[in-house]
Amino acid sequence: MDERPNAPQDVTVLLHAWRAGQAGAYDRLIEIVYPKLCSLAARCMGSQPSGHTLNATGLVHEAYLKILGAQTPWVDRVHFFAVSARVMRQILVDHAKANHRQKRGGAAVKISLEDAVVVSPAPEERLLDLDEALQSLAAIDKRKADLIELLYFGGLNQAEAAEALQISEATVQRDLKLAKVWLYRALNQPPDASQAASGTS
């Protein structure tokens, strides 16, 4: 067993101890996962415009309230960070929807998946576009949509994503290529085009 401080096993043990009501488990868990969650929040906030109503600290705290209130039956460390990523993405999407004042349409701007997540020229609008595209992808292939969320919003590496989705790393690599092609097409279609409900493979 890995005896290093803050080893992944520690998080899994503490998650189960916390759920079981063990005294001190929550405080120790927060001490270990807080830096990782701050890093995740900073990654999520990196694509947001200046003057956003949230900052990374606010995002972490708002996410905590939702995570703690959900009473999720935690499986392990990867599951915890996967859920945290999903919660943070939804918070950003909700804020973008609340602040969004621009109508869709106008000149099309071709954009990659990485651009949509990290350096979009219109971050809030593109975040909403990406969220819509991910929902469409999830409707036809949930695993691929979950993979994109884990890698691009959750900051998980491919091995961790494979563990979370219970698939091989080879499958992760194949699914990622197909999902990126599908999302690129969805993000770059003309605003008035209707997207055919086609598969991803």
CA distances from 159 to 74, 106, 118, 150, 163 (A): 19, 40, 22, 11, 6
Q: Give the pLDDT band (50/70/90) at residue 169.
A: very high
The separation between CA 172 and the C-alpha centre of its own chain, rounded to angstroms, equals 16
Handedness of CA 73, 172, 90, 63 (dihedral sign): positive
Distance CA 88, CA 65 (A): 11
Do residues 49 and 94 touch, judged by C-beta distance below 8 A? Answer: no
Do residues 186 and 130 touch, judged by C-beta distance below 8 A? Answer: no
Each residue's pLDDT tens digit, 62-121 = 887 887 777 778 888 888 888 888 888 888 888 777 766 544 444 445 556 665 554 344
Distance CA 21, CA 15 (A): 10
Each residue's pLDDT tens digit, 63-80 = 878 877 777 788 888 888
Do residues 187 and 116 touch, judged by C-beta distance below 8 A? Answer: yes
- Mean per-residue pLDDT of the chain: 75
The torsion angles phi and psi of 7, rounded to 5 degrees, stand at -65, 155
The torsion angles phi and psi of 45, rounded to 5 degrees, stand at -75, -15
Q: Which domains does the chain have, with CATH numbers?
A: 1-78 (no CATH), 100-201 (1.10.10.10)
Does residue 143 surpass a pLDDT of 80? yes
DSSP reduced 3-state for 7: coil
Q: Give the pLDDT band (50/70/90) at residue 196.
A: very low
Count Cβ atoms within 10 A of the Cβ of residue 138 and give its class: 0-12 exposed, 13-18 middle, 19 or more buried: middle
